[in-house]
Amino acid sequence: MKNRYCIFQKGVPLMLFGAACIFSFSSCVKDTGPVEDYSQSPPVISFQGDGQGSNSQSVGVLGTSSEANPSLDSVEVSLGTANLYLSAPVTVTIAPDQGTLDNYNQAHGTSYTILPSADYTIQDNGTIVIAPGKNLVNFAVSFFGSGIDFSQGYALPLLITQAKGGGSVVATNLNYFILIVTPANQYSGNYSAAGTRTLYAGPTISSGVAASSAVGGTVPMSYVNDSTSEVQLADLAGDFMDLTVHGDGSVTVGPTTNSDPTFASLANNGPCTYSAGVFSLNYLYYNGSGNIRTITETLTKQ
């Protein structure tokens, strides 16, 4: 009696069967559909944003800024094309749009109010030209802080309304950008921190040094009022202090006023000065056990 399953018992027939299966399967894979040809896609105009897909950013505006001396912010528009560049210019029209802000507020649970037109201007009235051979262009937005009531929670919603030239089209997802208006002073911005925090074993320096900690990294300084700013306390992430700059360049270090202060004892401990974008600080505080901590720190504006 013949064995009907001999194909699995003899080497060559088994190999032929496997090859036939592979050929049959690979043929099916090849027939799944056409390959996408993106070389035929039109050039796409969009806001570049922060490069991480965000459609908004905060803009610090000086309360003293005016039409004659505005606070400036730069916004980037991008041209995406399969050929990297175009040989023809592209004219992009950008305008404020209430509907865009309404949609943003609904999506993010916010309640921003559109900034009055008297408090800003858009470069070239919002007509931006991307020259041939370019795929990025920046345009300026000028803010006049002297007329802005910062308590109103203003934002400027920008919408790309049109793109002409080179067969370009406007992106459907990155066609808007929200500038959230926040107050700033001349000290606002990012700083490079450097220094040392010294930890003593008791309430006085004579108690002896228990340890020390390096202060470093980039820290943001934010607005409190025209002369006072909030910044991270030494190397203690999540703890903050206020720096008040006086007319003679001296600085008062104190507990933060924007939130509950971690160390109410925070105070100057030697010369504290500001000059040409650099804070030179000597200060101290007492921890929860009453042990003294002294800090020598330099903050240099980036």
Q: How many beta carbons lie within 10 A of that of residue 179, not counting itself?
A: 22
Answer whether residue 159 is part of any domain.
yes
Q: Tell me what pLDDT residue 258 has.
A: 85
Distance from chain centroid for Cα 277? 22
> What digits encode the pLDDT tens for the residues 207-225?
999 999 999 999 999 999 9
Could you tell me the pLDDT band of residue 39, with boundaries at 50, 70 and 90? low
pLDDT greater than 70 at residue 188: yes
For residue 216, give the CATH number of its domain.
Answer: 2.40.128.440
- 173 and 249, same structural domain? no
At which residue do the structure tokens 């916004």 appear?
Answer: 75
- 166 and 52, same structural domain? yes
Q: Tell me what pLDDT residue 4 has.
A: 37
> What digits encode the pLDDT tens for the residues 108-153?
999 999 999 999 999 999 999 999 999 999 999 999 999 999 999 9
Q: Tell me what pLDDT residue 29 has.
A: 47
Which of 184, 201, 228 finishes a domain? 184
How far is it, in rounded angstroms, from Cα 108 to Cα 254?
35
Q: Which pairing describes strands 209-223 and 228-233: parallel, antiparallel, or unpaired?
A: antiparallel
Which of 168, 184, 200 finishes a domain? 184
Distance from chain centroid for Cα 297? 26
> Which residue segment(s) compose the domain that 235 sits in?
189-301
pLDDT greater than 80 at residue 18: no
Answer whether residue 27 is part of any domain.
no
pTM higher than the cut 0.85? no
For residue 109, give the CATH number of its domain.
Answer: 2.60.40.1740
Q: How many domains does the chain have?
A: 2
Answer whether residue 129 is part of any domain.
yes
Answer whether residue 149 is part of any domain.
yes
Which of 150, 184, 218 finishes a domain? 184
Average pLDDT for the chain? 88
- 248 and 202, same structural domain? yes
Mean pLDDT along residues 249-257: 97
